[in-house]
Amino acid sequence: MEYYALSVAAFVGIYVILATSYDLLMGYAGMFSIAHGAFYGVGSYAVALVLLREHVAFVPALIFGFLFTTGVGYLVGWQATRLAGDYLIVASLVFAFIVNALMLNLTDVTRGTMGLPGIPPPEIFGNVLSDPISQVVVIWVTAAICGSVVWRIVHSPYGRVLRSIRDDPAAASASGKYVLQYKRAIFALSAGLAGVAGGLYATYVQFIDPNSFVLDTSFLILIAVILGGRGTFWGPVVGATFVWVLPQAMTFLPLQPDSIGPVEQIAYGVIILLILRFRPQGLVGTLRRSRTQLMVSGPEASGPHA
């Protein structure tokens, strides 16, 4: 039974990387992109291809996946970061379509819809980590490393600049910050971390195809960030855990065979809607606000100020 839990934990770990890296972009820098799932796919294919064709070791492959996706992110961000609001959404959507089309049609490289089977599991210092426990440890250690990178950034002066760009780009620019350069860098870094998540996914599932990186993936990442609380470090972590664990918990509901699936999906949707309705700042965001209010105003403030 624990192996099933480990499987869920593995996907939670992968989505924690995706959500925290996406929060860098949306929560801290204020850029609303829906191409994160596409970068996840780019990294996944990059790692899978160097593992399958070049037979490089796992860690170099993962680093290559990171660097390659960072490069792609920087190229895309070069122009995309000049856009804002609706225009950035449209540009990122177009990029996601292009990536999907390339995955489908670059058949000599990606095998198109046939996908890439037989991707080897992680191998570190000559040890093939094919057992579930080792794989989950690899994923969570990588998630911790990625998380610490994000933590370091958002708690540094660089993070404060990002927040100032999000809140008032004109003021940030007026204070001497090269806004565009900051946006490009964070766009590329966010994409690179998504690429790392993609590499972990490829080596965990050992099979990838274009269907694994459709727009739904980007939306799931978006939901994780908003549910958890954007612009907070722990929010995306909680959100990613939530969007993976809740549907799995739903599968334990004692449902009739013909209602499995639809009822689970409806219940899942209703819970998310309720959270968005009653905790619009997200799970962690709301908690932070409540605690701050309590500290500033004291317990007596709960009445008139609530």
Partner 1 sequence: MSEKRDPNDRATWRVWQEGMSRRSFLRSAAFASLAGLSIFPLVEACGSSTAAQSYPAKFKLGNIFGLSGTPAAQGKQFQQGIELAVSDQNKKGGIDGIPIEAVYEDSQATPALAVTAAQKLINVEQVAVFTNVSSSPVLAVDPIADQYKVLQVTAAANSPRLINASKYFLASVPNSTFEVQVGLTLAQKHFKFSKAAFIYRNDDLGNGVKDFFTNFWAKAGGQLLTVQSHEPTQADFTTLASKVAAAAPEFIYITSASATQGLLVKQLRQAGATMPIISGVGLAVTELFSVAGDASKDCYWTSPSSSLNPSAFSAFSSEYQAAYPGATLSTFTSQHYDVANAIFAAAIAVKKAGQPLDGAHIRDAMLAHGTFLGVQGPFTPHADGSCTRAEDIDTSINHQSTTFLTAKQVQDQGIYDFGLT
> Which positions ≥6 away from 51 have C-beta within 8 Å?
58, 61, 119, 120, 202, 203
Minimum distance from CB of 241 to partner 1 (Å)?
Answer: 6
Residues across the chain: 306
Pick from 56, 89, 93, 149: which binds partner 1 (CB under 8 A)? 149
Residue 249 makes contact with partner 1 by CB under 8 A:
yes
Question: What is the rounded radius of gyration, in angstroms, for the C-alpha atoms of the chain?
Answer: 20
| Least CB distance to partner 1 at residue 136 (A) | 6
Of these, 56, 245, 271, 272, which contacts partner 1 (CB under 8 A)? 245
Rounded distance, CA 75 to CA 185, Å?
A: 10
**Residue 7 engages partner 1 in binding (rule: CB under 8 A):** yes
Q: Decide whether 4 or 87 has the Cβ nearer to partner 1.
A: 4
User: How many chain residues touch partner 1 (CB under 8 A)?
Assistant: 68
Sites for partner 1 among residues 85-114 (CB under 8 A): 104, 107, 112-114
What contacts 32, CB < 8 A, 6 or more positions away? 26, 85, 88, 89
Work out the burial of residue 170: count CB atoms within 10 Å of its CB; fewer than 13 is exposed, 13-18 middle, 19 or more buried.
exposed
Quote the CA–CA distance of 89 and 222 in Å, as a whole number.
Answer: 12
Examine residue 175 and tell whether it contacts partner 1 (CB under 8 A): no
Residue with tokens 């449209």: 90
Q: How far is CA 96 from CA 106, 167, 192, 218, in A?
A: 15, 27, 15, 9
Q: Select from 51, 140, 169, 284 the one that contacts partner 1 (CB under 8 A).
A: 140
Q: Binding of partner 1 at residue 137 (CB under 8 A)?
A: yes
Residue number, 50 or 196, with CB nearest to partner 1: 196
Q: Of the candidates 68, 80, 209, 236, which one interacts with partner 1 according to CB under 8 A? A: 209
Judged by beta carbon, residue 32 or residue 158, the one nearer partner 1 is: 158
Q: Are 40 and 198 in contact (CB under 8 A)?
A: yes
Q: In angstroms, rounded to a whole number, what is the distance separating the alpha carbons of residues 183 and 79?
A: 11
79 or 211: CB nearest partner 1: 211
Task: Identify which range of 40-48, 165-173, 251-259, 298-306 contacts partner 1 by CB under 8 A.
Answer: 251-259
* Dist. CA 137–CA 266, nearest whole Å: 33
Contacts with partner 1 by CB under 8 A lie at 1-9, 11-13, 16, 59, 63, 104, 107, 112-115, 117, 124, 129-130, 134, 136-138, 140-141, 143-145, 147-149, 151-153, 155-156, 158, 185, 189, 201, 205-209, 211-212, 234, 237, 241, 245, 248-249, 251-252, 257-258, 260-262, 264-265
